[in-house]
Amino acid sequence: MIDIVIDITLLAFLAITSVAIVRMTNLFAIVMLFGIFSLLSAGLFVVMDAPDVAFTEAAVGAGISTVLMLATLALVKRPQKPYYGEAPQSHRAWLPLIVVAVTGSALVYGTWDIPGFGAPDAPAQSHVARYYIENTMQETGVPNIVTAVLASYRGFDTLGEVTVIFTAAVAVLLLIGGKRSKPAVKTNKKGEQDEA
């Protein structure tokens, strides 16, 4: 019972935080709120019996993501004018709201057929998951099933994941790392006007 109460409270906090993120205009505050958002998510993952996911979210989501965003803010040196809270003039204010409302209602309609939260006889629980719970200990000797699947059964998938991260790291280095000639960037901007 207490599980459910914590679950409902934390999810409500999460929704409030996300709405606050949309309504705020100060980018630094938004990034800090996003850190709080990630930390709340990590807490919720613990409540939902997923400690491995919670560790990862707390370290990677609340930690590294926030640091990356703060570093970006420092590099971007945003202007202090709080005008980015308003929608660009090219967008009508009501159009995104309508799109979001229609999509949201369709999704809520879709939840009517989902088995209730935590139902033990849900389809997701009755097929392949049972195999891993029953056989992981004999086959790999690792008590933590998530670790066993990640590193043993699906080791090649994890290798693929490392490839993705490597690719992203190389791309980031190519984009903003190394020596870039600053004047070239400036003439790019000025040159455009000169040509025009």
User: What single-letter DSSP state applies at residue 162?
Assistant: H
Read off the amino acid at residue 190.
Answer: K
135 binds another protein (CB under 8 A): no
- Using CB under 8 A, which of 9, 29, 103, 191 touches another protein? 103
- Using CB under 8 A, which of 9, 29, 155, 158 touches another protein? 158
In sequence order, the 6+-apart residues with CB closer than 8 A to the CB of 65 are 34, 35, 38
9 binds another protein (CB under 8 A): no
- Using CB under 8 A, which of 19, 29, 155, 191 touches another protein? 19
57: nearest Cα among 26, 96, 119, 14: 14
- Using CB under 8 A, which of 156, 165, 178, 179 touches another protein? 165
Task: Spell 45-80 as b/e; 16+ CB within 10 A means b.
Answer: bbbeeeeebbeebbeebbeebbeebeeeeeeeeeee
- Which C-beta is closer to another protein: that of 22 or that of 194? 22
Site mask for another protein (CB under 8 A), range 82-101, x = bound: --xxxxxxxx-x--xx-xxx
190 binds another protein (CB under 8 A): no
- Using CB under 8 A, which of 9, 139, 155, 168 touches another protein? 168
Q: Minimal distance in Å, beta carbon 191 to another protein? A: 11
User: What single-letter DSSP state applies at residue 143?
Assistant: S
188 binds another protein (CB under 8 A): yes
- Give the per-residue SS3 of 87-116: CCCCCCCHHHHHHHHHHHHHHHHHHCCCCC
- Using CB under 8 A, which of 2, 117, 156, 183 touches another protein? 117
- Using CB under 8 A, which of 29, 133, 139, 187 touches another protein? 133
In sequence order, the 6+-apart residues with CB closer than 8 A to the CB of 73 are 27, 28, 31
62 binds another protein (CB under 8 A): no
2 binds another protein (CB under 8 A): no
